[in-house]
């Protein structure tokens, strides 16, 4: 397990450097931020001075290495537009996006695994309904679901707020109400995907010879399902859930725009439109770290559930 962990950490470090280097290279293609900072009426002398101040007159490789040296020490630089440290700016927005993605993942995982197991065990109309729901979940865009939820539950019924976010510390009840529609919008398609994959995995395990043998020996159904069937189907379900979390994290960025939630999504959109390169790089680092952490945790869980996946 320690060898697996060390390999994953080394690969994660290399991947993080590669992605941030490519992002830094791509930032050379964005519009010159000095025009956004100084205005279109700025003189060429003012623009040149501002470029020197921001370090844009130096090669991108030099700028990246300086940024990387600070990032290793926990310093992601300062926003060119607000003057605030990037770490402070991201820290203020991160809990909102993470809470959206984590809650949506938990909802999709619990609901999807429950429906998937039920469909695999009962078959019949429930199995056919799940296949139809999975197809609809893949076909219907999350943005359309979000807009439909706003129209029905916020505009017409007025049960829930259409926009905004309330911190948990201010009011747990209002926090839950502000997250309900965004979470449902994000998790709607993911539930069907998790359910479909769980159904296939459980059905495959139920057809194994050892399951039929245990069933013929009179092993209690509950123990058979929880200890043997679900445990052997869990690696597939965990892998699907981890992939859905990554997708939900990206979906949260889009949903934040619809529900006017000031998370990482709105921060990334604003920084990209203004060519605020330090903030863009900071958001990329945080996003990659979250994805790598989730993948690492899932790899460790899968290797614990199924030792055969470990490489000697």
| Positive or negative torsion for Cα 158, 163, 168, 170 | negative
Q: What's the pTM value of the predicted model, to 2 decimals?
A: 0.80
Q: How far apart are CA 187 and CA 112, in angstroms?
A: 10
Burial status of residue 312 (CB atoms within 10 A of its CB: 0-12, 13-18, 19 or more): exposed
pLDDT, tens digit only, all 312 positions of the chain: 677 678 878 888 888 899 999 988 888 887 778 877 887 777 888 888 888 888 888 888 999 999 999 998 989 989 998 889 999 999 988 888 888 888 888 888 888 888 888 888 877 777 787 777 777 766 777 778 888 888 888 888 888 888 888 888 888 888 888 888 888 888 877 888 888 888 888 888 888 888 888 778 877 877 877 777 877 887 877 888 888 788 777 777 778 888 888 888 888 888 888 888 999 999 989 988 888 888 888 877 777 766 555 554
3-state secondary structure of 85: strand
Q: How many CB atoms lie within 10 A of CB 162?
A: 15
Say which DSSP state 43 is in: -
Q: How far apart are CA 255 and CA 236, in angstroms?
A: 28
Place of tokens 């429950």: 114
């Amino acid at each position: 397990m320690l060898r697996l962990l060390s390999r994953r950490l080394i690969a994660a470090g290399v991947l993080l450097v590669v992605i941030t280097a490519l992002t830094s290279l791509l930032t050379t293609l964005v519009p010159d931020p000095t025009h956004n900072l100084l205005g279109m009426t700025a003189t060429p002398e003012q623009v040149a001075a501002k470029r020197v101040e921001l370090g844009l007159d130096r090669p991108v490789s030099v700028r990246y290495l300086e940024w990387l040296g600070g990032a290793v020490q926990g310093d992601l630089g300062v926003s060119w537009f607000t003057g605030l440290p990037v770490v402070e700016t991201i820290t203020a927005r991160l809990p909102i996006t993470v809470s959206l993605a984590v809650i949506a993942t938990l909802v999709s995982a619990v609901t999807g695994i429950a429906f998937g197991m039920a469909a695999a065990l009962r078959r019949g109309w429930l199995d056919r309904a799940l296949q139809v729901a999975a197809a609809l979940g893949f076909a219907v865009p999350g943005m359309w679901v979000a807009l439909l939820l706003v129209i029905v539950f916020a505009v017409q019924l007025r049960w829930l707020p259409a926009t905004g976010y309330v911190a948990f510390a201010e009011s747990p009840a209002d926090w839950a109400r502000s997250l309900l529609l965004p979470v449902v919008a994000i998790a709607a398609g993911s539930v069907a995907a998790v359910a479909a994959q769980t159904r296939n995995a459980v059905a495959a395990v139920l057809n194994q010879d050892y399951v039929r043998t245990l069933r013929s020996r009179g092993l209690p159904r509950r123990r058979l399902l929880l200890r043997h069937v679900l445990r052997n189907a869990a690696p597939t379900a965990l892998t699907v859930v981890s992939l859905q979390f990554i997708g939900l994290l990206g979906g949260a960025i889009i949903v934040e725009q619809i529900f006017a939630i000031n998370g990482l999504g709105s921060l990334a959109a604003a920084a990209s439109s203004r060519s605020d390169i330090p903030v863009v790089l900071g958001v990329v680092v945080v996003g990659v770290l979250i994805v790598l952490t989730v993948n690492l945790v899932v790899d460790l869980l899968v290797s614990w559930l199924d030792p055969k996946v470990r490489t000697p």
